[in-house]
A and B are shown apart, each in its own frame.
Chain A
Amino acid sequence: MHVDELPALGWSLEAADCVRRMDDAGIDKGIVMTIVDAPEVNPRALELIAEACAAYPGRLEAFARIHPWYGDEAVALLERALTELGFKGLKLHPVTTIAHPAGADTVRLIRIAAAHGAPTLFHCGDEPLTTPLAIERAAEACPEATIILGHMGGYFHVDEAIDVAERRPNVILETSAMPYPAKIREAVERLGPERVIYGSDGPACSPRIEVEKVRLAGLEASAERLVLGENAAGLLERVR
């Protein structure tokens, strides 16, 4: 989920909105991150998320969205997030940074996250720099890292996202926004239910509809529990 303030787009996404929509959907815990990156365009992006999580203890967990091109400054931000601020993962969105998923700066951050047991969540859709085959290069370069393909390939790269996850055991698929319930079922059948996690992309997207989308996939009850929460809980617990 997202917490951020973006006047240029007229978007104001507050922690309270996330929690309200989680309540509507019967969701216990949400992972939040900004829409823009630290240190640019928001030098306070990490503090914004830390404050959101502090306001709702036990309900919100934090991922750090960081621009890989900021070199040592980016590394310091990530280290601080994972140690001092209690963040649980790294979020990378190459559409906003134009940093290739397998570029040296990006790989450096992924490896630092992995050293803390923290996963890296990529926006994974249909745009250049975000496709499953581009992110696969990062997964290949960092086999020790857990790489999450957010949106599991978007509209037209879902089959490739499942293919990549099948080839790369360190890749996990995240279901938000991707519009095909049947593809969630296919992913679970091909990868096993431990390799797929629920996401909402809320609060601007409907967490309730996104939960229902997983239910429409028609999974076994135990697999549905894994996808809707147990897998993600396991990822959060592994961070040190």
Chain B
Amino acid sequence: VIIDSLAFLEEGLLDALDAAGIERAIVCPTRARGVGYDIGNDRVAAAVAMHPGRLIGFARLDPLAPGAAAELDRARGLGLKGLLLHPWEDGFRITDPAVDPLVDGAPVIVAAGFPWVSEGLQVGEFARRHPETTVIATNGAQVNISGLGQQDAELALETFPNLCIQTTGVYREDFLERVVARFGAGRLLFASGFPRFDPRLELLRVTWAPALDPPARAAVLGGNAHRILGLDAG
């Protein structure tokens, strides 16, 4: 089963997943502008309720907003399984101590690779503070078209075993293959990044990677997400 480990809840999501042949997806709210994340989290919970076999909901929070901890508790009550933190869009540094109290052992996806707020080693530092929590960095923990962030991403993976990375937008096939070779297939998760990214293209980064053997490919495509989320089979 292919599990997309991060898509944003926006118009056209299910059609885009269908077009790429993706069975299940972790979904979270898009950026809230002028409102709190309670609205987006409610929308995600409602979408999951409509498509319970297909969508897995993650909450999103602005950790510096008043009432963030209470909203996290409320979102857990809605059945949302993990947390998305987006330091770039929501304006905070992932190493800001104000973020730490929101980590409660459930998986945390961090929008990673953004300068000054969520560089690979900054996300690594966040993972160091929360060794019992699986921290999943988007974009290979580096968003750089020169590949300049790859060395820091690998250092973070080497140092913090609870850190995983997603494949979204990582054009360097050799980087993805080296991550699997060095750290095992269990550290890499397919994600579409819909709607900014095209799920059809993003899936090819895993399905066409020549150096992945079938078990590794299956782990990256869905097995890892299944394990981390403790999902029921199917």
Contact = CB atoms under 8 A, between A and B. Distances in A.
A213 B145 contact: no
B197 interface: yes
Contacts of A95: 146, 148
- Most A CB contacts (10 A, CB to CB) among B143, B146, B169, B208 go to B146
A205 B145 contact: no
Nearest to A130: B146
B174 interface: yes
B146 A212 contact: no
A209 B145 contact: no
Contacts of B148: 95, 127
B201 A212 contact: yes
Interface string A190-206: 00000000000100111
Given A127-B148, A154-B145, A208-B208, A213 B201 contact: yes
A156 B89 CA distance: 13
| Majority SS at the chain B contact face | loop
A179 B138 CA distance: 14
Contacts of B96: none
A216 B144 contact: no
A180 interface: yes
B205 interface: yes
Interface residues of A, number: 29
Contacts of A93: 146
Contact of B145 (A126, A206, A212): A126
Contacts of A213: 201
Contacts of A180: 196-198
Given A127-B144, A216-B201, A179 B171 contact: yes
Contact of A206 (B146, B173, B196, B202): B173
Closest 7 CB pairs of A and B: A154-B145, A125-B145, A177-B171, A204-B174, A179-B169, A206-B173, A151-B145
Interface of B: 143-146, 148, 151, 169, 171-175, 196-198, 200-202, 204-205, 208-209
Interface of A: 9, 11, 93, 95, 123, 125-127, 130, 151, 154-156, 176-182, 201, 204-206, 208-209, 212-213, 216
